[in-house]
Structure 1
Amino acid sequence: MSEQVTMTAKEREEWEAYKAEKEKKEAAERRKAARATYQQMVDDELAQAVPELRKLSQDIRTVKDTVFGNFQTVLDMKAEVVGFKEDGQFSHTFTNSDSTLRLTLGVNTVDGWNDMAETGIAMVRKYIESLATDEKTKTLVNTVLRLLSKDKQGNLNASRVLQLAKMAEESNDDQFKEGVKIIQESYMPTETRRYIRAQYRDETTGNGWRNIPLGITDVDLVETEQEAEKPGVEAGA
């Protein structure tokens, strides 16, 4: 029969403190081990996932280069058929004969202009400001001059220049038209990223284009007729 140990209050307090400290250290060791296990799991999964994703990225790039390369011949043929090259057109859409497949190839661009743009702007301003003969025409002039306003990077907006070009043609003023022409000729856009949008006709309903998801995020989307009409997914450069 074991002998019962009797502790004083102080001994009991010291024992409880020892036991609590031991449990605290053991818990800390378990957390440390769990962190090491977690980090090892992360290392193992990353070692497997990242090479696969790099391969996927390279495969996408290879297919993208191939598609653009193959369609370059089509674009050259298109220019030959229509008799001119569509300068300034940065996207082209192709649809097959039975309208079941559609592909859009394009290039995102950033507007840019050379120094001659300032000469054209000065000519246009001179003409426009000459029209301000009363308060009514001043308001119209100010509205038109806003089309020549620049963004934070100091660039004109290409779409606004197109609006000016239409106004110039309607004005029949040589100075106005020459100024706008100079601005247009000074346009030097910078290409950023090429993109592809691929679509197919829904065979179950016979109408509505469905996008083919080309981004890793978008492949989880459930394709609906509504989604089919949304802008295409960019295949990264």
Structure 2
Amino acid sequence: MSNIKNLTPEEKEELRRQFMEEEKQKGERTKQERKNYKTLVNTTIPVLFKDLMAVSANLSAVKKKVFDELKTLVSLKAELYDAELDQFSHSFTTEDGITIIIGHRYNDGWDDTVNVGIEKVEKFVSSMGKDANSKALVKTILQLLAKDKTGVLKASRVIQLKKLADDTGNQDFIDAIEIIQSAHRPVKTKEFVTVRYIDNDGNKVDLPLDISAADFEPTIKQDATPPEEPRS
């Protein structure tokens, strides 16, 4: 290619025109490719959605069947083994190691009066001495009073706080924990089904019933950098 400095004004103008035309064509090509991409999304996703809807409906139907058919076994177990009918879960295992567990769980929940109890505990803590024993007790109390990463106070820790309060004999502390305990409003989760079996190597294996837990060989490269932990 000739040195641009040696081009005539007409040649420079022609070169500029060619460049602009190429850029225009490139922009139009990109625009069309993006349009084609959106068309592909609009044709691919609905098909997959129907497949996933079918899987979801089938899971719901099988889940209902499992609970309906095991209802009889739950009643029989209660009758024959003097077991409680109101258990949170029921487990059934065959001789060859297939286990099906059905039931529900409870998540911790609290009414607004829990904050009154927490404030009373904090007031008690602030009134404690500064000696080594007091500092150790304060640290333990605050650790047990801390909410988890979802912002929920754990009932299991409140039980430990109750024991600590009883050990101190401090009525204000005891009253604060009783307020917290009275504010407990556990929330029932959805019914679950868990299945385990023994594989050919003798290992206990969980049968994946959640699509996220299903094993497969991914064909999409996923090498994105994991997000950093949130910082305060």
Q: Normalising to structure 1: TM-score of the pair?
A: 0.59
Contact 1:109 1:193 in 2 (8 A): no
> Are 1:43 and 2:35 an aligned pair?
no
For residues 153 and 62 of structure 2, the distance between their equivalents in structure 1, rounded to whole angstroms, comes to: 35
In structure 2, relative to structure 1, the CA distance for the partners of 1:181 and 1:71 (3 Å cut) is farther
Task: Give the partner amino acid of 1:36.
Answer: K
- Aligned position for 1:82: 82
Following superposition, the deviation at residue 142 of structure 1 comes to 6.5
Do structure 1's residue 218 and structure 2's residue 217 form an aligned pair?
no
Which letter does structure 2 place at the counterpart of 1:216?
Answer: I
The equivalences for 1:8-157 within 5 A come to 9-80=8-79, 81-86=81-86, 89=88, 92-112=89-109, 149=145, 151=147, 157=154
Query: Over the residues paired in the alignment, what is the CA RMSD in angstroms?
Result: 4.5
Distance in 2 between the 1:11 and 1:147 partners?
81
Matched residues in 2 for 1:37 and 1:193: separation? 42
* Contact 2:91/2:99 (<8 A) preserved: yes
Unmatched 5+ stretches in structure 2: 1-6, 122-130, 168-176, 218-232
Q: Which residue of 2 aligns with 1:158?
A: 155
Higher CA-based Rg = 1
Q: Retained in 1: the 8 A contact 2:74–2:90?
A: no
2:193 paired with 1:196? yes
Query: In the aligned structure 1, how far is the partner of 2:161 from the partner of 2:185?
Result: 18
Contact 1:101 1:200 in 2 (8 A): yes
Matched residue, 2:204: 209
Q: Taking structure 1 as reference, are residues 74 and 47 closer, same or farther at Cα in structure 2, changes over 3 Å only? A: same
Q: Is the 8 A contact 1:109 1:189 kept in 2?
A: yes
Alignment coverage as a number of residue pairs? 197
Summarize the Cα distance change of 1:185–1:18 in structure 2 as closer, same or farther, 3 Å threshold: closer
Normalising by structure 2, what TM-score? 0.60
